[in-house]
Amino acid sequence: MGKPLGKTTVFLSGNEAIARGAYESGIKVAASYPGTPASEILEHLALFDEVDAQWSVNEKVAFEVALSSSIAGVRSIYASKHVGVNVAMDALMTSAYTGVGAGFVIVSADDPGIHSSQNEQDNRLIAKVAKIPLLEPASPAEAKEFIKEAFKISEKFDTPVMLRLTTRVSHTKENLIIQERKNFPKKNFTIDTAKYVMVPKNAYRKHALLEKKIERLQKYSEKSSLNKIELNDRKIGIITSGVAYLHVKEMYPKASFLKLGFSFPYPQDLIKEFSKSVKQLYVIEELEPFLEDELKRLGVSFKSKHPSFRVGELRPEYIPLIIRGEKKPRELNKTQKPVMCPGCSHRPVFWVLRELQLIVTGDIGCYTLGALPPLSSLHTCLCMGSGVTFLEGFKRNLDNKVVGVIGDSTFVHSGITGLINMAYNKTKGVLIILDNSTTAMTGSQPHPATGITIKGGKTKKLVLEDLCVSCGADTVEVVEPHDIKKLEKLIKKRLDSDTLSVIIARSPCQLIESKKSPPPNYSIEKCKKCDICLQIDCPAIKKDVDGFIEIDKTLCTGCNLCVKVCPFGALKTGIKK
């Protein structure tokens, strides 16, 4: 959390502001699984002694822990990235039926532009499908205030409330004012089977009540102070929400606005009233036609963005194009590709997989970078856990040699069931757990197999070796991935045996446990310019103008993978001075 500038002014990101706002709202419980752009919400909540914060095994677990805490009588929050909400969907859909106890808020951080995700889904649609109220702050300062309102709505209407952020809210910082925490007396849990036991008879009744509740929420959204009409130049009126409002305001500061902060249930009368007060009405929103579709249903005439703008995030310079009805311009992507860090323990594994020319079913984490050339050794990546389940589908239907890869955190999140499924359904195969002992891609968060909690305390450590045996793996072996000869031999051996084998390639991430050895010595005389050392894609090795290589001694960790792959002995292990 940013140090205060004065007593009350701080400079916070949207995620820090959500954490602060939730803290000020008196929350007691917070649960999440890390994922960009949401991770920092829980990391900052964990800094408050009054908040029982946890990294859960996955989002479904997090959701249920947070919701049940609310039912048990304390304010609670669930936070995750947009695709994390998918994992929690089973619980989320029925939570609209049960309602809550004390206030319960679902924070969904969407990623328009797919900066660090596997898809670009618009979770506003999930609020609509689930029939829960939706709030859309535009900035960190708003996020902090909206979450307070979210808790009030949750308690007033006995419903989960979704607060939807996007990357440009979560990862924007601005100066804002903080307030004191308000504590609320704990409510008691009262046995109420009609409310909390969702068997058909009760659920049927609850569905009917939910339909009535959403009508009442609709009336409430009409009067909500989070929806604002700004009347200026009446020639152009714009209906917008979230960060899109700020992009439009930037480019058309004198236009009239209906800014929807409480966007679902739609404030229909407010929309109609605003549409009548302006000459030309536009709807400008990011991603899906969530507001547009409602205006069409209401029979309000308006102009909106060309469908090409449904893909990717909005940028201020796009707004005039949208107003003019133009298509989205083609963007040339000349950005530098991301790469595994120097010394990364995933690199030797992908080098070996490349050498063995295997088909590799992959998963989500830093190691997904193994798909990029020149390593090019990861061939599928769908969602969390699919490295294991795709291995099963491929093994049962392909004649090629296949291995599956999955990270340690990802395996615990959703790989375990896939492994049990393989054993149960008699599928043989080789699964490599790329165990760098952290959740690296999202910022090095701990998980059950690290034995550390979000607050840094020690806890029961999940032993992956034992777990895999219990799941039904025939063999489980742990190997140091930097020993590529041993690793290659082991993979070959297991590929040739008719077993369900788990290989745990274990070496802690460089970002949590830096292992620095001297950089290798390079002999120009022995170098044949074969470029094999460049194929390992290490950021510390660059080709110079003469075709020889240069080793960046600041970046190099001395992992020696380049020494091991050099066929001419031009690279030799560096000597400690």
Partner 1 sequence: MMNKTVNILFCGTGGQGVLKASELSAWALVLEGYHVKKSEVHGMAQRGGSVESHLRFGKYVFSPLIPKGEVDFLVSLHENEYRRLEDFLHPEGRGFLPYLKKAEKMLKDKRYLNTFMVAVLSKSLPVSEKNWIKALKHIFPVRFFEENKRVFFMARDVVEK
139 is a site residue for partner 1 (CB under 8 A): yes
In the block, tokens 């090629």 appear at 400
CB of 246 to partner 1, least distance (A): 5
The beta-strand segments (E) located in 111-147 are 134-135
Contacts to partner 1 from residues 275-314, by CB under 8 A:
none
Closer Cβ to partner 1, 40 or 294, answer by number: 40
Closer Cβ to partner 1, 123 or 172, answer by number: 172
Q: Count the site residues for partner 1 by CB under 8 A.
A: 45
Q: How far apart are CA 7 and CA 109, in angstroms?
A: 29
Question: What is the x/- site pattern for partner 1, positions 326-355, by CB under 8 A?
Answer: --------xxxxxxxx--------------
Closer Cβ to partner 1, 193 or 335, answer by number: 335
Among 198, 203, 300, 555, binds partner 1 (CB under 8 A): 555
CB of 215 to partner 1, least distance (A): 35
11 is a site residue for partner 1 (CB under 8 A): yes
Q: Which candidate, 268, 157, 263, places its Cα nearest to that of 213?
A: 157
Residue type at position 465: E
Contact between 407 and 436 (Cβ < 8 Å):
yes
Closer Cβ to partner 1, 75 or 168, answer by number: 168
CB of 317 to partner 1, least distance (A): 4
Contacts to partner 1 from residues 84-113, by CB under 8 A:
113
143 is a site residue for partner 1 (CB under 8 A): no
Contacts to partner 1 from residues 161-200, by CB under 8 A:
167-168, 171-175
Closer Cβ to partner 1, 10 or 91, answer by number: 10
Closer Cβ to partner 1, 103 or 362, answer by number: 362
Among 25, 32, 36, 304, binds partner 1 (CB under 8 A): 36
CB of 444 to partner 1, least distance (A): 12
CB of 13 to partner 1, least distance (A): 8
Q: Which candidate, 285, 304, 291, 302, places its Cα nearest to that of 243?
A: 285
Q: How far apart are CA 353 and CA 503, in angstroms?
A: 13
Residue type at position 501: S
Q: How far apart are CA 487 and CA 510, in angstroms?
A: 20
Residue type at position 160: P
To the nearest 10°, the Cα dihedral for 212, 213, 214, 217? Answer: 130
CB of 113 to partner 1, least distance (A): 8
Contacts to partner 1 from residues 362-401, by CB under 8 A:
366, 368-369
Q: Which two tokens stand for residue 77?
A: 């929050």
Among 554, 567, 575, 577, binds partner 1 (CB under 8 A): 554
Q: Which two tokens stand for residue 99?
A: 């309602």
Closer Cβ to partner 1, 21 or 267, answer by number: 21
Q: Which two tokens stand for residue 237?
A: 């009126």
Q: Which two tokens stand for residue 506?
A: 């274990």
Cα distances (angstroms) measured from residue 209 to each of 67, 99, 409: 20, 11, 40
Closer Cβ to partner 1, 208 or 512, answer by number: 512
Q: What is the DSSP string of 237-306?
A: EEEEETHHHHHHHHH-TTEEEEEESEEES--HHHHHHHHHHSSEEEEE-SSS-HHHHHHHHHT---EE--
CB of 546 to partner 1, least distance (A): 20
| Contacts of residue 533, Cβ cutoff 8 Å, sequence gap at least 6 | 541, 549, 562, 565, 566, 571
Interacting residues toward partner 1 by CB under 8 A: 3, 5, 11, 36-37, 39, 113, 115-117, 139, 167-168, 171-175, 243, 246-247, 249-251, 253, 315-317, 334-341, 366, 368-369, 441-443, 539, 554-555
